[in-house]
Structure 1
């Protein structure tokens, strides 16, 4: 029966035409009231393509699509760096003058990617709402609620980049240019109104239980509201209004936005539908994709025919066994931000000597092992051998052995007299300018890497890893931040107790950490660790207006050293560690973030006459 609906839908689509080239929107209402009455499932079949459109807008990791063009969004923050020397492609936008991750969609013009407003997709959703908002069918009303959610999410992705954007609720079929920007405050209010409409219309659980994480329900809309209103509230508090209100939000509006964020998060917590996962890493690696912490996700190939493409460019050579990978590396600075199990933040012990390099990282927040592959750490049953060089101490002095390049590693010369040891670790570190999958920083990404089984081809349909877009842990962190901001700056304390309880549960269940009294700094730190490498940090740096603190800053690498001391009997073999500057050939070794980068440049190709953001003219 489903094939019958799809066949009819295909025929109707062929009848549609377009009246505007760059918007490329449908000029006709595809389904009539009679069609919907006779084949109600057809409306749903038609509507679901809007979720695929949404995937193209959400860039938690990468530009252009969910994960794209090799480069991880965290490479542009203080949490990680690009592990390659190339200044071409996406990475070139982190070099002066910089325009980091400006676009929603991109269209290729030779080697140039041109930003494109997503109004074609918004127009489709708008027309769906207009056509069906007055329906008396409860299932159609639920679809309309999903449409409001998708529209709100698309606008959220634009507003967090550009500030105020053109706002449309009706058909755009006869619009020739998108150039009438609303203020940023009006844009946040529009997102809030769309989400409020979605919350009213959406069910608590999707009618098909297995689709409840793949489509929006009432809690999905509440969760996005908690995120969006938190962004609006903190931009109002920490930013300033410029460009005639197109950028920035009145400081007087901060309290109201933060209350909306707190109320939305509190509703989710009180309803008790979702819970925190005790196996934190399995939320992201394909092992536990139906976990009750996941609120909204994008399914992968086997379920949708659409590749999430989450990890292909960021896994170690040991996993992929091919070049062009490990393009993003965690930096030493973020590793040292993982708390000790007593709740303190301490640097690694650079005076210690351990027979197992993993011991340098022992006794820390459980999320470290779930998020980062460190020297001596494990992934998919294999231990990672990461050290820069071998120092052999003899009675006559110390000899140093190390690989100078990837060719040396390929030849795999062993330490003379100790042939069971490579001169540098199998997984690095040695000077690497090839993008061949070996760390220059001493660490690899682990969180989000597919870990169900070893694959022959990570671009194949075998990789069924989903992408987590919204989860309960984020909701708790949104609540904690809104609550402490309200209490600290506005004397609004009614949210503190509930937020503190949920905050402590997250620390305990995810990290194995003790309770810690919330302050703004404590909450921001917890958010950074729990959401690490999920695409939040870049936007958090923007909305807190602290991105410029990263400008021209360099981040350090870790060099473990294998020591072989022949002057002892028996010969002592142990590891030490050293903090070093990252190689100067790495492109994001030095970060670029100017004042103007709090907003991205507005796309102008299809919008003649539009007001550009300050600093981008």
Structure 2
């Protein structure tokens, strides 16, 4: 009788289980280690589930639930769309998602991927048995494995702080007490991530066309992101004044004097990628070009690491993964969304961060526009904003449907200020001063017209805005998300889990955001004005591609932070942070950025409500105005200091009494 160690590979290469069994014959469907680990093709099979479960906040990402924070299979239905609580793109809301709630945020993700880390450690330990020591082939495979391990640890450390560092394969048959490991310090965990990524950057594969694999460039991009996180946590973490056993043990937070080394590591990784030839994807039509950044795979310039979906994948057999981005964010009908619709909508707080036309004059009076489309189509709005949001009058290219978003009409608008409008009660036929506002309620009257002053006037848009919160599938924020929406006819039905656009895990645009922030922070730490100037030049590289006005560095910047947050943030650094929000909008960075900057608890102190972009037609003037109002479906958003760190999963603490709980819970 022989004892074979084998790995079972499911038909879809999506499920691996390691086991031992006594048998005389090789079971069907089972592959030996020497088959899986002795060739690149075999290693791809072995790593299939590792890649699928990689902690990427992508289209299917959900904060809570049985997917450990990352919905990788299609069994959550449309509720996955309702869990996009990490799509924190508004500076005025910590939770801009369909539910409008943030109450479960501090309850934790329950994310503890040591099963995948064990798979990676197994590969790292076994690979030297099949390749010549020191060979390029061995080092490339080890580099890929260590970069993936660093990614998994990054997913945990940015949530929990210090976690147990497991470098080797533990014997599952060992006594339980020997298997228990305490948490390592947060500093040691970030350094462990850095160590793995340094090896991967030096030894990883150098074929830039393999954007589906974690090569040396993916490792460098992760280094630029992770070390920036670590640097800001070290620099600003002490200001939240959390105390307790976890803080005292170094599990939550790091000494501020560690910030410089992390900022330097992020900065160096960014330069590494530039020297490797990465650059922004550019084109003459700046709106279409920005759409192409997300709608196509751009191996020649910007894309570093991409997650592919469906049959549209460039992988030979495609993938078994689909998502529902178009289905969940576009409004229902007209060739747009066939199910759900409008699960995630943009706010005026986010839209107004971009270069957009002024809607209110110096006297707090709404500016008049000749047409509803003049808000985005008069040459004042930056191209990146037009490519990030759908505004009324834009055409959705796949369906050919014209987006129609109108809040209502005013018969007249004499003597009414914007501040009076935003505080007024919503309703039908409400009279404010000498103005009479008319809005339609619920779904039955969408797009209807009425006779006013002797002419037929459309009262509301076919796709929004609604007064009632019961009109699911229509917008109530005044715009829709355009970024990542398919414009090439890839998604023919737009029903649940039919979408196939790729997700850009790492792209050079983000690297430039990381570079600008790391360079400016280094300039502050080292007193180096040249680094600050370099940071602004990088920001302007992004703004030039975006079709926005370039930024001029302020030589003696005002301190915008001390009075508000209790620590300095100068106006140049704030602009760099805001530029990051604009460039990376709806790419799932915002929540974690607000956390690592340690500003979220103050930004949402006592709760914050968001606002709409409400377009009204003024009948007696034949003009349009845009007002910022509170939508009917609006709840206050809060963020508590303890939420800067998630709680260690309770089930893990129950199994391992060496795990110290995070303070504040």
Deviation at 1:295, TM superposition (A): 1.1
Q: 1:408 aligns with which of 431, 440, 445?
A: 445
Aligned positions, number? 563
1:139 corresponds in structure 2 to 137
Q: Secondary structure at the match of 1:478?
A: helix
Structure 1: runs of 5 or more not aligned: 1-5, 20-28, 104-114, 566-571
Equivalent residue runs for 1:418-567 within 5 Å: 421-434=457-470, 436-453=472-489, 455-459=491-495, 463-492=499-528, 495-496=531-532, 498-517=534-553, 519-551=572-604, 552-565=607-620
Deviations 1:363-422 (A, max 9, x none): 02221101112233443244322221123359xx86643211123328x45446778643
CA deviation vs aligned residue, 1:438-484 (integer Å, no higher than 9, x gap):
22221211112222228553247863310111110111111110111
Give the CA deviation at 1:604: 1.6
Q: Tell me, in whole angstroms, the C-alpha distance in 2 between the residues paired with 1:77 and 1:536.
A: 11
The answer on 1:155 being equivalent to 2:153 is yes
Return the offset for 1:305: 1.6
CA-CA distance at 1:249 after TM superposition: 1.2
Q: CA deviation at 1:267?
A: 1.5
User: In terms of mean alpha carbon deviation, does 398-407 or 236-245 score higher?
Assistant: 398-407
Pair 1:130-2:125 in alignment: yes
Pairing of 1:3-402 with structure 2 (within 5 A): 16-17=18-19, 31-33=32-34, 36=37, 41-54=41-54, 62-63=62-63, 64-65=69-70, 68-72=80-84, 73-74=86-87, 78=91, 82=96, 84=98, 94-95=102-103, 98-100=104-106, 102-103=108-109, 115-133=110-128, 135-136=131-132, 137-174=135-172, 180-205=182-207, 209=209, 212-240=210-238, 242-278=247-283, 279-283=288-292, 285-287=294-296, 290=299, 292-302=301-311, 303-318=318-333, 319-322=335-338, 324-339=340-355, 351-361=366-376, 362=378, 363-380=380-397, 381-392=400-411, 400-402=437-439
Moved more, 278-287 or 501-510: 278-287
TM (normalized to structure 1)? 0.82
Q: Is the 1:220–1:295 contact (alpha carbons within 8 Å) kept by the matching residues of 2?
A: yes
* Cα distance in structure 2, aligned partners of 1:233 and 1:244: 19
- Compute the TM-score of the two structures, normalised by the length of structure 2: 0.76
CA contact (8 A) 1:16 1:30 kept: no
C-alpha distance after superposition, 1:18-57 (max 9, x if no partner): 89xxxxxxxxx974448755x6632343234321121567
CA shift for structure 1 position 314: 1.6
CA offsets 1:292-351 (integer angstroms, 9 cap, x no match)? 21111100111212114434322222553445221222111222211259xxxx665553
Question: 1:536-591, CA deviations, whole angstroms, 9 ceiling, x for partnerless residues?
Answer: 110110000000123211222222111222xxxxxx532112222232x43xx311
- Provide the alpha-carbon RMSD of the alignment: 3.4
How far does residue 487 in structure 1 lie from its aligned partner after superposition? 0.8
Question: Quick one: structure 1 residues 179 and 581, their matched pair in 2 at CA, closer, same or farther if it must change by over 3 Å?
Answer: farther
What CA distance in whole angstroms lies between the structure 2 residues aligned with 1:280 and 1:563? 35
Ranges in structure 2 where 5+ consecutive residues have no aligned partner? 1-5, 22-29, 64-68, 73-79, 312-317, 414-433, 555-571
SS at match of 1:329: coil
**Structure 1 segment 574-613 matched on structure 2, within 5 A:** 574-583=623-632, 585-586=633-634, 589-608=635-654, 609=657, 610-613=659-662
